[in-house]
């Protein structure tokens, strides 16, 4: 089988699993403790993520869901323990409004060609639910490593980020990355998005580890994004339908 995943070592106990052969190129993260591992998101589900994880660790794995959009939950079905914010639970429990036709359209966007070994007829949105709830202030103890749960809505209602204070890592899903920040979706809220961005801009972040695009970002990007959201708010433009606004290395998308 082709090498679908690109594994990037953030440090000796933290790995990014990227999927650059698809236009979405989502990033998932394996965080190794002494007793357990956290897998932050599971990507597209085109090929087995569990097989890749077992090359890196034999520790028991808990999946932490930043948000329940299709490109971040694709391999959830491969894992026993799934954690999600209550506001995202319905999306992975049979209540997702995305139709099968819409899912396939997103998968094959931009003329993507399915690689050998992928059976599109078996591709489905994950709807197996979760056995754990994560909410603001929660603590994930992996043994020797602690991840703090931050509820950072805006892109979606139950979006969460995970902060490791010791290393000053923030795993932020689709809240922030160098690209188009989606604040125009059905579940998005631009004003709440601004609040979440302001929150992380005030945090001590050494590495910002996003759900897409570059892996080399720092807290400086959060401060730049917070200033951009503030600028749009002050101009009366921070509302759905107002357009897409570029700010150098990223943009804020408020219209389809």
Strands (E), 107-188: 132-133, 139-141, 146-151, 160-164, 169-173, 180-182
What pLDDT does residue 2 have? 66
pTM score of the predicted model = 0.97
Q: How far is 64 from 3, CA to CA, in rounded Å?
A: 24
Q: Mind listing the domains of the chain with CATH numbers?
A: 6-177+203-219 (3.60.15.10)
Nearest to 154 by CA among 114, 116, 198: 198
Quick: pLDDT tens for 54-73.
999 999 999 999 999 999 99
Whether the CB-CB separation of 209 and 30 falls below 8 Å is answered with no
CA dihedral for 9, 10, 12, 18, sign (positive or negative): negative
Q: Which residues contact 176 (CB under 8 A, 6 or more apart)?
A: 197, 200, 208, 210, 217, 221, 222, 225, 250
Whether the CB-CB separation of 75 and 42 falls below 8 Å is answered with yes
Residue with tokens 């805006």, as numbered in its chain: 154
Give me 180's structure tokens: 């188009």
Whether the CB-CB separation of 78 and 48 falls below 8 Å is answered with yes
What pLDDT does residue 1 have? 47
Please classify residue 97 by burial: count the beta carbons closer than 10 Å to its beta carbon, then call 0-12 exposed, 13-18 middle and 19+ buried.
Answer: exposed
Q: How far is 153 from 195, CA to CA, in rounded Å?
A: 9
Low-confidence ranges of the chain (pLDDT < 70): 1-2
Angle between helices 219-234 and 190-201 (to 10 degrees): 140
Q: Count of CB atoms within 10 A of residue 145's CB?
A: 21
Quick: pLDDT tens for 167-189.
999 999 999 999 999 999 999 99
Q: How far is 216 from 204, CA to CA, in rounded Å?
A: 16
């Amino acid at each position: 089988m082709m090498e679908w995943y690109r594994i990037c070592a953030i440090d000796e106990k933290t790995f990014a699993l990227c999927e650059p052969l698809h236009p979405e190129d989502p990033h998932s993260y394996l965080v190794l403790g002494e007793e357990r591992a956290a897998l932050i998101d599971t990507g597209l589900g085109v090929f087995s993520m569990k097989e890749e994880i077992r090359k890196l660790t034999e520790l028991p794995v808990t999946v932490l869901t930043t948000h329940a959009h299709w490109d971040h939950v694709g391999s959830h079905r491969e894992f026993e323990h799934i954690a999600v914010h209550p506001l995202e639970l319905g999306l992975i429990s049979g209540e997702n409004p995305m139709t099968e036709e819409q899912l396939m359209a997103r998968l094959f966007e931009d003329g993507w060609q399915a690689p050998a070994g992928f059976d599109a007829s078996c591709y489905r949105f994950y709807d197996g639910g979760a056995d754990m709830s994560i909410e603001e202030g929660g603590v994930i103890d992996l043994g020797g490593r602690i991840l703090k749960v931050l509820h950072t809505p805006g892109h979606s209602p139950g979006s969460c980020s995970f902060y490791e204070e010791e290393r000053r890592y923030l795993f932020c899903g689709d809240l922030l990355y160098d690209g188009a920040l989606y604040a125009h979706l059905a579940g998005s809220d631009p004003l709440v998005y601004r609040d979440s961005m302001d929150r992380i801009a005030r945090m001590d972040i050494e590495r910002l580890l996003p759900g897409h695009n570059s892996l080399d970002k720092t807290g400086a990007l959060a401060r730049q994004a917070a200033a951009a959201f503030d600028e749009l708010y002050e101009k009366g433009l921070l509302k759905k339908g107002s357009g897409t606004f570029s700010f150098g290395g990223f943009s804020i998308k408020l219209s389809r």
